[in-house]
Amino acid sequence: MNRSDFRYLPSRPRDIQWGLHVTGAGRAAIPPGGTYPPSGHPELYAFTWQKGRSLPEYQLLYIAAGSGLFESALTGPRPVAAGTAVVLFPGVWHRYRPDKATGWEEYWVGFAGEQMDRLVLNRFFSPEQPLLHTGPAPEIVRLFAGLLDRLREAPSGFPHLIAAMVLEMLAAVLAATVSEPHQLILQGPRDVTALQDRIVAEALRLIWSGSHLQLTVAGLARQLHVTARSLERRFHASLGRTIREEIMRCRLDRVRRLLAETDLSIAEIVAASGFSSPDALSRAVQRAEGTTPLKLRRKFRAARR
């Protein structure tokens, strides 16, 4: 019989200002032949193997026992063994499941914030390499168990305390993965889109894994060590559209999902989708959809009834 325990938290403005906030956490023990994923999760987080999902935030998933399969838009299918941490990234489609023969034991935590954004921008974690093999790591399990205990107790100030625990988990994963953590990610970009121009492929990855950031052409060019003019020219030659158009496509995709699948306020969606202000978001939605964000949310919800 499946055993699962989870809790989701509201994203309050003060918690977001802290720089890292936890949106939920849980554990599940899936026996051999058990159904997966467990039921009862909010629609934003629920998924099936057939459809997969994209998240508006990061998640850290740790497989403590058993084995299974993981797949994302950037990796293709990958086997997952016990002692593997899986980092899920905003806006990156993925799916995963335990093997029917073994089942698995999983721990997970969802979170968002500029502290994790900086870790990704500095290449401590990468969507192309979401599977981090730690081997048996009792310390990581202990941290997850402590976080779940703290969620149940919910003491005063606990959102900041569990945010600190998530940072400790991430550090523990990196420490357990390789003896020299800087070797973990810095292995050069993959041509994840099958484009011939690897600079353009990497620009696409940065855009779609950073849709919650206020991206600019100049900022992308600096990260890719090319001039903005060269990047613009190569991007348009490969894809027939500008970088700004691609950033807007990505942001609007995120806005649509957040409007359809969450109760986040417009101000919170602005912070989660990289727009500079509510007015900027509203203008973009009006141009793309011919309506306001709130009317678009009502349209999505009416379609689900």
Give the tens place of pLDDT for each residue, 11-51.
788 888 889 999 999 999 999 999 999 888 888 888 999 98
Same domain, yes or no: 295 and 216: yes
Whether 103 shows a pLDDT value over 90: the answer reads yes
Tell which residue, 207, 188, 208, has the closest CA to residue 198: 188
Where is the domain boundary, 118, 151, 183? 183
Closest CA to 165 of 107, 109, 83, 89: 109
Q: Which two tokens stand for residue 137?
A: 């790591």
Inform me whether the pLDDT recorded for 100 exceeds 60.
Answer: yes
Same domain flag for 119 and 38: yes
Domain boundary among 158, 183, 208: 183
pLDDT of residue 94: 92
Based on the fold, state whether residues 169 and 43 are members of the same structural domain. yes
Do 116 and 164 touch, CB atoms closer than 8 A? no
Same domain, 169 and 53: yes
Cα 56 to Cα 111: distance, rounded to the nearest angstrom: 10
> Which pTM value belongs to this model?
0.61
- Is residue 141 domain-shared with residue 236, that is, in the same domain? no
> What distance in Å separates the CA atoms of residue 122 and residue 132, rounded to the nearest whole number?
17
Q: Look at residue 182 and tell me whether its pLDDT is greater than 50.
A: no
Q: Are residues 242 and 130 in the same domain?
A: no
Together in a domain, 220 and 117: no
CA-angle at 109, arms to 107 and 110, nearest 5°: 150
E strand or H helix at 209 = helix 198-209
DSSP 8-state symbol, 278:
H
Residue 284's pLDDT is 95
User: Residues 124, 211: one domain?
Assistant: no
Is a pLDDT exceeding 70 seen at residue 109?
yes
In a domain, 300, yes or no: yes
Same domain, 62 and 164: yes
What would the pLDDT profile of 184-240 be if each residue is shown by its tens digit?
333 333 333 335 678 888 888 788 777 677 889 999 999 899 999 999 999 998 888
Residue 128 lies in a domain: yes
pLDDT of residue 195: 52
Same domain, 79 and 177: yes
pLDDT at 203: 87
- The last residue of one of the domains, among 150, 183, 216, is 183
The reply to whether 188 falls in a domain is no
Residues 164 and 211 in one domain: no
Residues paired with residue 95 on neighbouring β-strands, in sequence order = 71
120 in a structural domain: yes
Domain of 158: which CATH number?
2.60.120.10
| Whether residue 145 sits in one domain with residue 80 | yes
Token pair recorded at residue 236 = 């348009």
Is position 38 within any domain?
yes
pLDDT tens, residue by residue, 52-96: 999 989 999 999 999 999 998 888 889 999 999 999 999 889 999
Query: Higher confidence at residue 238 or residue 97?
Result: 97
Phi, psi of 90 (to 5 degrees): -60, 135
Which domain range does residue 262 map to? Answer: 198-304
- For residues 71 and 97, the answer to whether their CB atoms sit within 8 Å is no
Inside any domain, residue 189: no
Confidence of residue 166 (pLDDT cuts 50, 70, 90): very high
In a domain, 192, yes or no: no
| 284, burial (CB in 10 Å: exposed 0-12, middle 13-18, buried 19+) | middle
Residue 288 has pLDDT above 60, yes or no: yes
- What total of structural domains would you count in the chain? 2
Task: Confirm whether 191 is domain-assigned.
Answer: no
Return the CATH number at 283.
1.10.10.60
